[in-house]
Amino acid sequence: MNENLLLTAKALNENGFETEVFENSKTAAENIIKNVGLKKTLGFGGSMSVDALNLKEKLSAAGNEIIKPGPGISKDEKIKLWLKAQNADFYFASPQAITSKGEMIFLDANGNRGAAVIYGPKKIILIAGYNKLVETLDDGLWRARNIAAIKNNIRLKKDNPCVPAGKCQDCSSENRICNVTTILSKKPWMSNYKVVLVNEELGY
Convert the pLDDT of each residue in 145-185 to its tens digit.
999 999 999 999 999 999 999 999 999 999 999 999 999 99
User: Looking at residues 74-84, what average pLDDT do you find?
Assistant: 95
Query: 73 pLDDT exceeds 80?
Result: yes
Query: 191 pLDDT exceeds 90?
Result: yes
Residue whose C-alpha is closest to residue 9's, from 181, 194, 144: 194
Measured torsion, CA atoms of residues 138, 141, 144, 150, in degrees rounded to the nearest 10 = -90
Scored b (16 or more CB within 10 A) or e, 66-101 reads bbebeeeeeeeeeeebbeebbebbbbbbbbbbbbbe
Determine the pLDDT at residue 1.
76
Determine the pLDDT at residue 65.
97
Determine the pLDDT at residue 12.
98
CA dihedral sign, ordered 182, 77, 87, 151:
negative
For the chain, domains (ranges, CATH) are 3-198 (3.40.50.10420)
Determine the pLDDT at residue 70.
85
Query: 87 pLDDT exceeds 80?
Result: yes
- What stretches of 12-152 adopt beta strand conformation (E)? 19-22, 41-44, 65-67, 90-93, 97-98, 104-108, 123-129
- The answer to whether 99 and 135 are in contact (CB under 8 A) is yes
Determine the pLDDT at residue 187.
98
**Whole-number Å distance between alpha carbons of 132 and 97:** 5
In terms of Cβ atoms closer than 10 Å to its own Cβ (0-12, 13-18, 19+), residue 193 is buried
- What confidence tens digit (pLDDT) does each residue in 21-70 have? 999 999 999 999 999 999 999 999 989 999 999 999 999 998 999 999 98
